[in-house]
Amino acid sequence: MDLSLESILEGQLLLVDKPLEWTSFQVVNKLRWALRKKFKLKKLKVGHAGTLDPLATGLLLICTGKMTKKISEIQALEKVYTGTITLGATTPSFDLETPFDNHFPIDHITNEQLHQTTKLFTGVIEQYPPLFSAIKKEGKRLYEYARKGESIKIESRKIIINRFDLTQIKLPKVSFYVSCSKGTYIRSLANDYGKALQSGSHLSELRRTGIGQYNVDNALTPKQIIERLNGISP
């Protein structure tokens, strides 16, 4: 990762391992501030190529300088996730950001059903985004309606899930591997999966491990990037 002034201004793609509970914007702001301070810049273009929810960890691609012009191109790349779905309870946000709102039986669910049901969610599918999301509708973000308890009609979107594999089953938790297209909400997938099993479920853990050819194994945390940056002579 080249953190020299020339590279940052010309356009650099920073592979960041986003910590738990950080928003994607917090990562962008933290790194923009650190870069501007280090090189005494009045302004610097910095943006991310694909949001991660606060309760998700993993790969976040940060673009600087002229590389920000390629954000749309990078956002279109396939995403890879690992995580855990917990069966037997749902939440309004489809993850642990909000408290449980309903509980469901899971005694009827077999391992075979768990594996077979993943096939319903592979290929081109129609998916409804969560109400707790940043998608805009009539000038407001959906989560603004959700937090006020207002109802709003949400349109489904075509997405592609190339792989949805279960890697471990320890009910009520199932671990998974998913590779999918831009615009896929893993929270919605977790919620829909529970419904298809005649139960309910929520996303209890999520990590993005890949975006196109980029892998989280080659990423650094914001703290590590700033430490490396501070070790460079101005």
Active site residues: 53
Q: d(Cα 119, Cα 163) in Å, to the nearest integer?
A: 9
- Burial level of 88, CB count in 10 A (0-12/13-18/19+)? buried
Q: Please, which residues bridge with residue 164 across strands?
A: 178
H-state helical runs in 66-183: 71-75, 111-118, 142-147
In the chain, where does DSSP find H-type helix?
Answer: 5-10, 24-39, 71-75, 111-118, 142-147, 186-196, 222-230
